[in-house]
Amino acid sequence: MVQPTTPATNGHIPTPHIAILDTDTTVPAIQETHGKYYSAAYIKHLTNAATRANIPLPKITTWDVLAGSYPDPSGVTSILITGSIAAAYDTDPWVLALAAFIKDVYANHPHVRIFGTCFGHQLIGQVLLGPHGAVVEKDPKGYEFGVQTISLHPKLVRDFPCLEKLAKVDGKDERGLRLQMCHGDHVALPKPSGKLPGEWVNIGGSEHCVVQGLYEPERVLTIQPHFEGDQVMMEETIKYFYTPEKGFSPEFLQKAFDGTRKEDDAAVAAEWVLRFLIGMS
């Protein structure tokens, strides 16, 4: 079995401890079946991934950051920031507090890996790459819903061989990762070249959104899509937030619902995320 490569603290490799930071509650229609907090879905997928890959399940704790609950960074090895209906550029006190926490963890706790999906991806990108020109904004192309394919950067596949299970895109080196989408904001990288500092890379894009995640080896991984979201969760979330009363046509919504029913690569993505969080290739 591959041993963790999480940086050592005090001369030893710490026991993996993932702290999931809940940034929203699930919609009412699925709380009985999926849990009140999104962390339940992440735990389910990470647990299943550990079982399939014969990886010891790390310690996982959950924290309600909307209520001001945070872990001590010195006591964890990775943090996972969930999705939310909130925007990264919101000025609500809890969003600003979470942004400050991310900044502190990155600057002062180098042993802690940072991961986020959707809102988490966008906030991490804004905090860590904002000084380099990255901006979170409304996507001028509008909303992206349903299962979409991301053409992954070859570096991701080299660093995480589990991604070799994915099909190649049009015979190229890129692998196609199919995952559920539900977003109207995006991370826009600095123009014209989109050059990022150090070893940072854009993980790849879909036809709709060119920045589907960010990666700094052994430190940060973010993804725009929802590997944790099943078809029911995604359809009910769309039904709840994106209604005809808010300007979404029945035809647009039906296309979004149909998109959630396509086959995805959530199992592969869950293993990839787990390996990143615990420091395994």
pLDDT tens per residue across span 9-64: 444 557 999 999 999 999 999 999 999 999 999 999 999 999 999 999 999 999 99
Domain total in the chain: 1
Using the Cα atoms of residue 155, residue 137, residue 45 and residue 168 in order, give the sign of their dihedral: negative
Structural Rg of the chain based on CA atoms:
18
Residue 254 lies in a domain: yes
Beta bridge partners of 79: 19, 114
Residue 66 lies in a domain: yes
| Cβ-proximal residues to 234 (8 Å cutoff; 6+ apart), any chain | 145, 146, 180, 182, 226, 260
Residue 3 lies in a domain: no
* H or E stretch covering 95: helix 93-108
Residue 8 lies in a domain: no
Contact 70, 61 (CB under 8 A): no
Which parts of the chain have pLDDT scores under 50? 1-11
Residue 210 lies in a domain: yes
Residue 9 lies in a domain: no
CATH of the domain at 136: 3.40.50.880
Residue 12 lies in a domain: no
Q: pLDDT value at position 269?
A: 98
pLDDT tens for each residue of 245-266: 999 999 999 999 999 999 999 9
* H or E stretch covering 224: none
* Residue 191 structural domain: 17-278
Residue 4 lies in a domain: no
Q: pLDDT value at position 238?
A: 97
Beta bridge partners of 204: 152
N-to-C CA span, the chain: 11
Q: pLDDT value at position 194?
A: 66
Q: Assign 208 to helix, strand or coil.
A: coil
Contact 17, 8 (CB under 8 A): no
**Which residue reads 């960074």 in tokens?**
73
